Amino acid sequence: MKKELGITILLVVLCATTAFLNHRFLGAANLANMARLIGMYGIFSIGLGLIIITGGIDLSVGSVFALQGVLLAMALREWHWHWSVAVLATIAGVMVLGLFHGLMIARVRMQPFIVTLCGLLFYRGLARFIADDETKGFGSEGFGALRELATGNVGPVPMPFVILIVVAIISYVVLHRSVYGRYLYAVGRNEDAARYSGINSRLIILSVYVISMMLVGVAGVLIAFYTNSISPANHGSFYELYGIAAAVLGGCSLRGGEGSILGIVIGTALLQVLQNLVNLLGIPSSLNFAVMGAVIFFGVLVDQVLRARQVKKIR
Amino acid sequence: MSALLELKHITKRFPGVLALDDVSMSVGRGEVLALIGENGAGKSTLMKILGGVYQADAGEICFEDKPVTIRHVSDALALGIGFIHQELNVLDNLDVAANVFMGREPVWGGPLRLIDRKKIAADSEPYLKRLGLDISPRTPLRDLSLAQQQMVEIAKALSQNARLLIMDEPTSSLTLTETERLLDTVCELSESGVSIIYISHRLGEIEFCADRVVALRDGKNAGELQQSEVSHAKMVSLMIGRKLEDLYVQGKGPQQVGYFQVEGLRTRYRPHHKISYDVARGEILGFAGLVGAGRSEMAQAIFGVDVPLEGTVRIDGQPVTIHNARDAIDAGIYLAPEDRRKTGLITEMVVRENITLAGLKRYSTWSLVRGDRENEAARRQVDSLHVKTPTIETKAVNLSGGNQQKVVLGKWLSLDPKVIIFDEPTRGIDVGAKAEIYRLMRALADRGVAIVMISSDMEEVIGVSDRVAVMHEGDIAGFLKREEFSEQAIMNLAVGRKAA
């Protein structure tokens, strides 16, 4: 909890300031919409966070959303698959991509950055080609169960947020309580030493790319139905960077071996609050990215300075 | 003879520790001064003050009778103080000459500032010659042996007109012959007027080359020995402040001959050589040989981190199939590797996590780690091995070398060891902790564990082993029984000469 304290304070301060400057921030509609977005972004950010903890990275997430979205829309509307088959098939397909990335990284020893950068380019291109560069959508009726997942509520709480809580709890147990979670940290910190302790480091790395893609697949379905129309050229673009930003803000180090589920979730929330702040405070929306960049920058800077000071104290 | 360097009443305080307490010492011109002391005695703090990394809280540094302030390593270099660190400070993607002139490259081409490659090659040559290094300055550094790379570092220091060289554990990764060569160089340098502060745990080297010995203990100057007084026992008692009773302990001896057998082992590094040997329960088999003779590779192949090409490993007559470290661990064969920080431990993880990492499943139900069981297991090892750590939640990186090695041991002792392979078990560990590691190894052997110990420290091999296997270029050149042990006999086999 100590590590997440800084970012939690930042989140509270930002919320308080925004609420003070614009009372609509605390309105039910605004909170619900924010929670819905936090839910969708949080699910795949956790996946990215797990990869980052092993010292890897995944840049392909946004393009995977586009490819999955296009295929899901076509399966449902053009090929008339049953919705459950379509959903499971696309999530499985996305996991196969993760398996491929994992094999390239763990077996062939390619660098994660390169493998997934190629994925980013390839899947985007493939999505546009398959869709003929046309926007695909789910129309305005049918697929009630799926729409419910993305746009429905449990009581007052948006469904994606509920799903995020479930995913977060499971991930928390896996990462912080299980043998597998300990191995993730060990491999991220020092793969050689992990191997010398009898850990099958390749299998661990391979599996984390598959698990992460499973979460990406789930989030992809929600995001597709949330936007309801998928334009293959820009659906999901930059989403991998939101995920990486959330993980890093939440305390994951790109060097690997550090980070927590709680931190990643708070990091995701912080990013969404920032977006909301830009809208509510009348800041020109063109400054959106600039604000986000600046806040992440200072967040990480402060963290770095505090940590350096701690190290000095120990000496 | 006036001193080149004089340290007067140097005191350095860190929060909670008095690292140096009123230390005075001097180094004469052309003198080889050995600085000894256990880890944490203040040697490195003192050297960091000379290198400008730390500033002394009190006291004075005089160089050539003038008081000086050293705020940065460049100040030290300007005075003529050069450093040869334990970890080499060279760039192996460049050639020899580029390393010698790193940061001071002569340039041509006006504003283009192109490096004058001809000039640096020509200028570095005399320094290489002076050190007896018979290589072209254009040789890529990565083609050199570690010992040669170290010589390049010395050449670099000399080319900066160093008049005082500070060498910190310079021989820790050198082979025996390379070590001899380095010690000769140290003597030659001192004859040509260069002063040397020589820091080492290897007392044999110090007996050989030092003009004077200064021992630090708990941040204080614990005493000096003139060349005529230098002896192993005196140095040890100065360092630890008492007499060292028995560094080496005798055990019960072998109990079940042929318990651990290695037959026809071929490794990727030496595909044309086969190794066969066996170790009894309760026996410590020492592996001597030059660095590069294939000892570590043999250990890694048995432990499964590098899959052997061929060969059978048997425990108690039963063949064991090993494809990876997990298989070896499940069979009860453990390796305490050479490089604790890279492969022995995950230094950024805490003591508890390191101890339980290899056997985590034992402390879990349904793949979930049981905190209480894990803590208990870690605490038991910390207590029984006397690991000096504030808590089990301390990061391994913050422990001393000796205590880190105990954590590595704790990891294996929490399981059921049948065979433990120690690769350079006491490298970089001070005398007091060494004695403890030897006692632990002996206690393990007496419990019925078969122990293989790879070591480049001749004293250690002779003192600890019940039997010695000497390797030479991938083959076992011969076995020696206790009564046949001598440095000469081991050296003869190690360099491939037939025993006299």
Own/partner pairs, B182-187, CB within 8 angstroms, 24+ separation: B182/B147, B182/B150, B182/B151, B183/B208, B183/B209, B185/B131, B185/B132, B185/B151, B185/B154, B186/B32, B187/B32
Please classify residue A293 by burial: count the beta carbons closer than 10 Å to its beta carbon, then call 0-12 exposed, 13-18 middle and 19+ buried. exposed
Please classify residue A32 by burial: count the beta carbons closer than 10 Å to its beta carbon, then call 0-12 exposed, 13-18 middle and 19+ buried. middle
pLDDT band at A311 (very low <50, low <70, confident <90, very high): low
Closest Cα in chain A to B411: A197
Whole-number pLDDT of residue B463: 87
Distance from CA of residue A47 to its chain's centroid?
6
B68 in A contact zone (CB under 8 Å): no
Q: What angle do CA A2, A44, A56 make, to 5 degrees?
A: 75
Who among B305, B361, B369 is closest to A177 (CB)? Answer: B369
B163 in A contact zone (CB under 8 Å): no
Distances (CA, A) of B372 to B133, B359, B378: 58, 15, 10
Tell me the percentage of chain B whose pLDDT exceeds 90: 36
Specify whether the CB–CB gap between B32 and B182 falls below 8 A: no
Inter-chain residue contact B367 with A178, CB threshold 8 Å: yes
Q: Which residues of chain A does B353 touch, with a Cβ-Cβ cutoff of 8 Å?
A: 182, 185-186
Whole-number pLDDT of residue B14: 80
**Do B328 and B188 belong to one domain?**
no
A97-104 average pLDDT score: 97
Q: What angle do CA B425, B431, B437 make, to 5 degrees?
A: 40
Examine the pLDDT at A291 and tell me if it is beyond 60. yes
Q: Which amino acid is it at B283?
A: E
Whole-number pLDDT of residue B301: 92
Name the more confident of A237 and B239: A237
**Do B433 and B401 belong to one domain?**
yes
**Do B236 and B270 belong to one domain?**
no
**Do B203 and B285 belong to one domain?**
no
Examine the pLDDT at A116 and tell me if it is beyond 90. yes
Neighbours of A169 (CB within 10 A): 11
Inter-chain residue contact B360 with A179, CB threshold 8 Å: yes
Examine the pLDDT at B51 and tell me if it is beyond 90. no
Specify whether the CB–CB gap between B225 and B46 falls below 8 A: no
**Do B264 and B332 belong to one domain?**
yes
**Do B330 and B293 belong to one domain?**
yes
Inter-chain residue contact B358 with A197, CB threshold 8 Å: yes
Q: Report the C-alpha gap between B326 and B50 in whole angstroms.
A: 47
Lowest mean pLDDT among A149-163, B42-56, B323-337: B42-56
Tell me the pLDDT tens digit for each residue of B397-415: 888 888 899 999 999 998 9
Whole-number pLDDT of residue B242: 64
How many domains does chain B fold into?
A: 2
Q: Report the C-alpha gap between B262 and B278 in whole angstroms.
A: 6
Q: Report the C-alpha gap between B127 and B158 in whole angstroms.
A: 7
Examine the pLDDT at A142 and tell me if it is beyond 80. no
- Residue B251 domain-assigned (yes or no): no
Whole-number pLDDT of residue A126: 97
Examine the pLDDT at A292 and tell me if it is beyond 90. no
Whole-number pLDDT of residue A212: 97
- Residue B321 domain-assigned (yes or no): yes
Q: Which residues of chain B does A192 touch, with a Cβ-Cβ cutoff of 8 Å?
A: 342-343
Whole-number pLDDT of residue B110: 78
Whole-number pLDDT of residue B257: 86
Which of helix, strand or coil describes residue A270?
helix
Whole-number pLDDT of residue A102: 97
Distance from CA of residue B105 to its chain's centroid?
33
Enumerate residues 6+ apart whose C-beta is below 8 A from A82. none
Distances (CA, A) of A181 to A172, A204, A260: 9, 10, 11
Inter-chain residue contact B357 with A257, CB threshold 8 Å: no
Distances (CA, A) of B499 to A256, B175, B479, B491: 52, 20, 11, 9
Phi, psi angles (nearest 5°) of residue B88: -65, 145
- Residue B18 domain-assigned (yes or no): yes
Angle formed by the axes of helices A261-280 and A239-249, nearest 10°: 120
Please classify residue B326 by burial: count the beta carbons closer than 10 Å to its beta carbon, then call 0-12 exposed, 13-18 middle and 19+ buried. middle
The DSSP bridge partners found for residue B364 are B369
Tell me the pLDDT tens digit for each residue of A37-79: 999 999 999 999 999 999 999 999 999 999 999 999 999 999 9
In B, residues 346-385, which contact A (CB 8 Å cutoff)? 346-349, 353, 357-358, 360-361, 364, 367-369
**Do B174 and B54 belong to one domain?**
yes
Kindly report the average pLDDT of chain B as a whole number. Answer: 87
Examine the pLDDT at B243 and tell me if it is beyond 70. no
Neighbours of B427 (CB within 10 A): 19
SS3 letters across A50-92: HHHHCCCCCCCHHHHHHHHHHHHHHHHHCCCCCHHHHHHHHHH
Specify whether the CB–CB gap between B336 and B421 falls below 8 A: yes
Mutate which: A3, A54, A195, A196, vs B, most B CBs within 10 A: A196
Whole-number pLDDT of residue B499: 46
DSSP B401-448: HHHHHHHHHHHHHTS--SEEEEESTTTT--HHHHHHHHHHHHHHHHTT
Measuring CA to CA, which residue among B84, B85, B98, B175 is closest to residue B141?
B98
Tell me the pLDDT tens digit for each residue of A243-273: 999 999 898 988 889 999 999 999 999 999 9
Examine the pLDDT at A1 and tell me if it is beyond 60. no
Lowest mean pLDDT among A146-150, B327-331, B495-499: B495-499
Examine the pLDDT at B500 and tell me if it is beyond 50. no
Specify whether the CB–CB gap between B66 and B38 falls below 8 A: no
Whole-number pLDDT of residue A269: 95
Inter-chain residue contact B342 with A193, CB threshold 8 Å: yes
Q: Which residues of chain A does B347 touch, with a Cβ-Cβ cutoff of 8 Å?
A: 190
Tell me the percentage of chain A whose pLDDT exceeds 70: 97
**Do B359 and B383 belong to one domain?**
yes
B134-153 average pLDDT score: 88
Which of helix, strand or coil describes residue A151?
helix
Looking up tokens 């349904």, which residue turns up? Answer: B366
Tell me the pLDDT tens digit for each residue of B373-399: 999 999 999 998 888 888 899 999 888
Distances (CA, A) of A265 to A54, A164, A217, A272, B112: 18, 9, 18, 11, 51
Structure tokens that stand for B76 in this block: 């030290």
- Residue B403 domain-assigned (yes or no): yes
Examine the pLDDT at A83 and tell me if it is beyond 60. yes
B394 in A contact zone (CB under 8 Å): no
Closest Cα in chain A to B332: A198
Who among A178, A179, A257 is closest to B348 (CB)? Answer: A257
Cα distance from B98 to chain A (closest Cα, Å)?
Answer: 30
Q: Which residues of chain B does A173 touch, with a Cβ-Cβ cutoff of 8 Å?
A: 368
Specify whether the CB–CB gap between B313 and B302 falls below 8 A: yes
Name the range with the highest mean pLDDT among A80-94, A132-146, B446-460. A80-94
**Do B323 and B192 belong to one domain?**
no
Whole-number pLDDT of residue B459: 81
Q: Report the C-alpha gap between B154 and B83 in whole angstroms.
A: 8
Inter-chain residue contact A185 with B349, CB threshold 8 Å: yes
Q: Report the C-alpha gap between B77 and A7 in whole angstroms.
A: 44
In A, residues 219-278, which contact B (CB 8 Å cutoff)? 257
Where is the domain boundary, B215, B240, B265? B240
Tell me the pLDDT tens digit for each residue of B248-303: 777 777 888 889 999 999 888 888 889 999 999 999 999 988 777 888 899 999 99
Specify whether the CB–CB gap between A77 and A307 falls below 8 A: no
**Do B190 and B291 belong to one domain?**
no
- Residue B477 domain-assigned (yes or no): yes
Tell me the pLDDT tens digit for each residue of B16-45: 678 899 999 999 999 999 998 876 788 888
Whole-number pLDDT of residue A315: 47
Inter-chain residue contact B369 with A186, CB threshold 8 Å: no
B462-471 average pLDDT score: 91
- Residue B499 domain-assigned (yes or no): no
Examine the pLDDT at A157 and tell me if it is beyond 50. yes
- Residue B249 domain-assigned (yes or no): no
Structure tokens that stand for B301 in this block: 């192949």
pLDDT band at B246 (very low <50, low <70, confident <90, very high): low
Q: Report the C-alpha gap between B27 and B43 in whole angstroms.
A: 15
Who among A178, A199, A314 is closest to B368 (CB)? Answer: A178
Domain that holds residue B172: 3-240
**Do B206 and B161 belong to one domain?**
yes
Q: Report the C-alpha gap between A34 and A37 in whole angstroms.
A: 5
B187 in A contact zone (CB under 8 Å): no
Q: Report the C-alpha gap between B240 and B402 in whole angstroms.
A: 15
B324 in A contact zone (CB under 8 Å): yes
Specify whether the CB–CB gap between B278 and B259 falls below 8 A: yes
Closest Cα in chain B to A174: B368
Name the more confident of B474 and B302: B302
pLDDT band at B177 (very low <50, low <70, confident <90, very high): confident
Domains in chain A, please, with CATH? 2-314 (1.10.3470)
Q: Which residues of chain A does B361 touch, with a Cβ-Cβ cutoff of 8 Å?
A: 179
A170-175 average pLDDT score: 96
Examine the pLDDT at A95 and tell me if it is beyond 90. yes
DSSP B375-406: HHHHHHHHHHTT---S-TTSBGGGS-HHHHHH
Whole-number pLDDT of residue A310: 66
- Residue B245 domain-assigned (yes or no): no
Q: Which residues of chain B does A178 touch, with a Cβ-Cβ cutoff of 8 Å?
A: 364, 367-369
**Do B170 and B215 belong to one domain?**
yes
Name the more confident of A221 and A5: A221
Whole-number pLDDT of residue A133: 92
Looking up tokens 């697929």, which residue turns up? Answer: A143
Specify whether the CB–CB gap between B314 and B361 falls below 8 A: no
What sign does the dihedral A187-A189-A191-A193 (CA atoms) show? negative
The CATH number for B321's domain is 3.40.50.300
Whole-number pLDDT of residue A59: 96
Q: Report the C-alpha gap between A40 and A138 in whole angstroms.
A: 18
